[in-house]
Structure 1
Amino acid sequence: MADTHKAGAFDIRNVIGMLLAVYGVILLLMGVFADPELEKTGGVNANLWAGLALLVVGGGFVAWSRLKPIYVPEDVAEVHDDPTRPGPKKQKRPKA
């Protein structure tokens, strides 16, 4: 695959994984350092477990993008039959 490169940071799986991981760290820290309010959640530290789950899922997304990267071709053939692209501008005819 000499004429392709990886999507890298522009891969949406990296963006989603990092966002979930950031929220996971915030919730994990809230679960460890804040008042867990166990009476509201039935004896479960919800922030702690939700933070751990988000870290696992976010790590899964990042691992998925590393193990199965998306390859972007360098050259893309010009499309002539795409109805969403505007047609060429019409030239005005000279008056005779």
Structure 2
Amino acid sequence: MLFDIRTVVAALLGCYGVVLVAAGLSHRRAADLAPAGGWNMNLWAGIGMLVVAAVLLLWMRLRPVRPADTESGE
């Protein structure tokens, strides 16, 4: 199997996304949300990271890296 950077990036974004979603769900007091204008930015950033990680994994699954065809006679 060839090395694919999409796997590494998707794994990192997925891990950070899970942490941010957990932080966003656990810190929902008004004082925590006030600096962001009432938006739960940890939750939304985490969801965005999880979506991007899923897209990268889907892309990797649908278009895998294939080795280049080379002539072994040269």
Question: After TM superposition, is the score higher than 0.5?
Answer: yes
* TM-score bucket of the superposed structures, by smaller chain: 0.7 to 0.9
Q: TM-score, normalised by structure 1?
A: 0.65
Structure 1 unaligned spans of 5+: 1-5, 80-96
Q: Tell me how many residue pairs correspond in the alignment.
A: 72
Structure 2 unaligned spans of 5+: none
Structure number having the greater strand percentage: 1
What does 1:18-29 correspond to in 2, within 5 Å? Answer: 18-29=11-22
Identity of matched residues, %: 39
Measure, in 2, the Cα distance between the counterparts of 1:15 and 1:76. 31
Measure, in 1, the Cα distance between the counterparts of 2:60 and 2:17. 19
Q: CA RMSD in A?
A: 2.4
Question: Following TM superposition, by how much is the alpha carbon of 1:76 offset from its aligned partner in structure 2, in angstroms?
Answer: 6.8
Give the structure 2 partner of residue 56 of structure 1: 51
Question: Following TM superposition, by how much is the alpha carbon of 1:34 offset from its aligned partner in structure 2, in angstroms?
Answer: 2.6
Q: TM-score, normalised by structure 2?
A: 0.82
Question: Radius of gyration: which is bigger?
Answer: 1
